[in-house]
Structure 1
Amino acid sequence: MRPIPIIIAVIVTTFLFFFVIQRDQLLNLASGPGDTPSEDVTETQPANEEPAEKSNVVRVVAVASVARVIDSAVVVRGETEATRELNVMAETSGIVISDALVKGTLVSEGQLLCEIDPGTRNASLAEAKARLASAIASVPAADAAVVQARAQLQEAQINDNAASRLSEDGFASETRVASAQAAVRSAEAGVSSALSGLEAAQATIESAEAGVAAAQKEIDRLKVFAPFEGLLETDSAEKGELLSVNSPNGALCATVIQLDPVKLVGFVPETEVGRVTVGARAGARLADGNEVIGQVTFLSRAADETTRTFRVEITVANPELKIRDGQTAEIIIASDGKSAHLLPQSALTLNDEGTLGVRTVTEANQADFVAVSLLRDTIDGVWLAGLPETANVIIIGQEYVVPGVPVEASYQETNE
């Protein structure tokens, strides 16, 4: 048996034992006595590296803003509207005998617009007046019949009284007494009949008077007048045209609109309606560039079911009739002043909940978020409400900070 393989096997076994089982001791032996363990080594911070706290500060640009009081106007879009617009209708049928007025004509209140041919209406009036005269003439005869009937009643009562006294003394028969009483009853019936005749005559008079009034009213309806001062929006009915009250559209004579004063009509959202009051000053810029001033005269108490907005009307003087019906208008309604800050629009941001606001610098030089509401957008910036009287607002770098982050602000002068 050769000893060499056995020696080699012992050496390999010893090496594997130290390499696997006693690995740490083997490494320490190999490192030498002058080396120190790795876990005792401490790293030194470079001399030019800033402290950790200093490296976390975010540099931003801010402005020191001071609140100012501004007019808080309510802006709505709307249109002009005629104060009044009326389709003037004839109340009776007939042929027009007046000359037509062209549309655009300025008419005054009470001016004749249409006149209808009277036809037989004058004859009907004359007949009604004749019936009235006949009824009036019958009254004296009815009065005389009443007087006569009352006289006969009085005579019958006297005879009845005399017959009753004579019968008590035995000088008159019962037959005479009964005859006298019958005469009284007959006279009373005559009085009632005469009074009925008088009442019938008076009723005939009233009926005749009603007939005369109806005939006269029918003649009065032959002329159609302008109900108010305004402009003709349509031509009046042509001469020779038949106006019929039984037609589907009625007997239209003309359409009149009133443009002085004129109304501006807009719809205020429910979030702004509390800031509008009747009597407030208001202005508008029309689509053609003209600007007008007026006053709020109406604010609806009921919201539109579809848009949830409230109708508002502003009355504006229009003596020269330059403002037309249906023009688009941007309406501005004055409201109570509010304290607000003028800031660049770029300063606006949103928080994690989607609330509109701005980032500010606190006294501890930390970033903060303040919710704001937009009052007005101008070429110089936006007017915001919701900030304190003075605020350091971040205008550059606000998107890189969150509330509580340390900041180093450099301040920019405002253009106020």
Structure 2
Amino acid sequence: MRLFSILAAIAVSLMIYAFVFERPRLMAALGTDAPDTTDVAQEPAEPTESSPDPGAIGVVAVHSRAQEFDSAVVLRGQTQANRQVEVRAETSGKVISDPLRKGSFVDAQQTLCRLAPGTRDAALAEARARRAEAETRVPEAQARLTEAEARLAEAQLNNTAASTLSQSGFASDTRVAGARAALSAGEAVVQAAKSGLDAARTGIEGAEAGVAAAEEEMTRLNITAPFAGLLESDTAELGSLLQPGALCATVIQLDPIKLVGFVSEADVARVTLGADARARLVNRQEVTGAVTFVARSADPETRTFRVEVAVPNADLALRDGQTAEIMIASEGTPAHLLPQSALTLNDEGTLGVRIVTAENTAGFIPVALMRDTADGVWVAGLPQAADVIVIGQEYVVAGVPVRASYGDSNGDLAQ
């Protein structure tokens, strides 16, 4: 098998040599005249038969002109649900609701799993009773404070009167001491009444906290969907016991859906937020959207940046995890579409193409490969118009005289 490949390569090389360098003799042997290359095109860069260079090497070239190339950034990626969440239980309890089957559409706040309340109703009633009891203590404490303040005011008057009479010699020291003692006692009673009122109010706050906790525990019995979407799994089966953290259901949102890809360091600057994008799935379906996210930090292993594209998916035709080729629009650049066989390397190993110069000699121009397509390769780096050698470029170097025959992009000679 290997010998056959070698023989085939030798045969192809001989055929190319005969076609390029021995074409006149080949035509004569076949009984046909060689085509007159002077009538192929009238470009001034082409040699004419009136002044041929005896040492020129025959090549086939094409007249190539630059075209506006849509230099879209091409990524390989996949579809991804816009949102996906695993809805889990926050408390323990037995499921008392019928299960919803996977694939079902659910609305936001729709019940997915309902748990049995157990003793939670009684706990809530007890908390509310304690709050009511605490609320009744506040008026009582307020009344005691009012009474204490009134007695304090009376003690202050008695103390003032006793002090005044004592200075005038109409009251004994014993009476003054008693008034002062009554005043101190009144102040202590007022302070105790204030403390009792504060304790009653604190009791109310504690009771309200207990009620709120009991009510929150009751809400946890009804596990709902956080957003509208599709069930990716069945909800918990009727009669099953859920513990805190146990899975109730998985909900995904597919409208809009995200296209996720990774762009290289060289191209990340060409991707901007809001840029138009289109993608082709493996089933040849094409979709369009806009860039919604470009990562600011690179993946530490691949040195690439995450890019997300939002695509409308109202009919839910796109699924999570489908492979996609993503093309993000960027500014166009002038480029040439050439056959891949026209590419060659110079002595330094630089990728480029050989051209026919105005002096009918071979030249070399380095090029940058933009994109490989079924019709050829898009390259940048050439002037607006260039005569690119597509057959025979491997047999000439820069400065060698050439005799060019011009054809189409496939190298077929023009008639």
d(CA) in 2 for partners of 1:229, 1:90: 19
Structure 1 position 354 matched with structure 2 position 349: yes
Structure 1 position 274 matched with structure 2 position 269: yes
Q: 1:163: Cα distance to partner? A: 0.8
**Aligned counterpart, 2:124:** 125
Q: Which consecutive residues of structure 2, in runs of 5 or more, have no partner in the other structure? A: 1-51, 411-415
> Letter of the aligned partner of 1:136 in structure 2?
E
Query: Counterparts in 2 of 1:205-220, with a 5 A limit?
Result: 205-220=204-219
d(CA) in 1 for partners of 2:274, 2:168: 97
> Letter of the aligned partner of 1:346 in structure 2?
S
d(CA) in 1 for partners of 2:223, 2:205: 29
> Letter of the aligned partner of 2:357 in structure 1?
T
Query: Counterparts in 2 of 1:397-412, with a 5 A limit?
Result: 397-412=392-407
> Letter of the aligned partner of 1:77 in structure 2?
R
Q: 1:343: Cα distance to partner? A: 1.4
Q: 1:413: Cα distance to partner? A: 4.5
Compute the TM-score of the two structures, normalised by the length of structure 1: 0.84
Match of 1:314 among 309, 315, 324: 309
> Letter of the aligned partner of 1:229 in structure 2?
A
Q: 1:59: Cα distance to partner? A: 2.0
Show CA shifts across 1:51-87 (max 9, x none): xx95432222212211111211121111111111100
Q: 1:223: Cα distance to partner? A: 0.1
**Aligned counterpart, 1:164:** 163
Q: 1:414: Cα distance to partner? A: 5.1
SS at match of 2:162: helix
d(CA) in 1 for partners of 2:300, 2:168: 97
Query: Counterparts in 2 of 1:26-65, with a 5 A limit?
Result: 54-65=53-64
**Aligned counterpart, 2:225:** 226
**Aligned counterpart, 1:30:** none
SS at match of 1:293: strand
Query: Counterparts in 2 of 1:250-265, with a 5 A limit?
Result: 250-265=245-260
> Letter of the aligned partner of 1:411 in structure 2?
Y
SS at match of 2:218: helix
Q: What's the Cα RMSD here?
A: 1.4
How many residues are matched?
A: 359
Query: Counterparts in 2 of 1:116-155, with a 5 A limit?
Result: 116-155=115-154
Identity %: 62
Compute the TM-score of the two structures, normalised by the length of structure 2: 0.84
d(CA) in 2 for partners of 1:305, 1:141: 68
d(CA) in 1 for partners of 2:320, 2:356: 53
SS at match of 2:255: strand
Q: Say which one has the larger Rg.
A: 1
d(CA) in 2 for partners of 1:380, 1:167: 121
Q: 1:379: Cα distance to partner? A: 2.7
Show CA shifts across 1:141-169 (max 9, x none): 10111011111111111111111111111
SS at match of 2:112: strand
d(CA) in 2 for partners of 1:130, 1:313: 54
Q: 1:227: Cα distance to partner? A: 0.5
Query: Counterparts in 2 of 1:362-381, with a 5 A limit?
Result: 362-381=357-376
Show CA shifts across 1:252-295 (max 9, x none): 11000111111111111222222211111111111122111111
Q: Which consecutive residues of structure 1, in runs of 5 or more, have no partner in the other structure? A: 1-52
Show CA shifts across 1:313-369 (max 9, x none): 111111111111111111111111110111111111011222211011222222111
> Letter of the aligned partner of 1:332 in structure 2?
M
> Letter of the aligned partner of 1:222 in structure 2?
L
> Letter of the aligned partner of 1:412 in structure 2?
G
d(CA) in 2 for partners of 1:136, 1:196: 16
d(CA) in 2 for partners of 1:112, 1:273: 44
SS at match of 1:133: helix
**Aligned counterpart, 1:42:** none
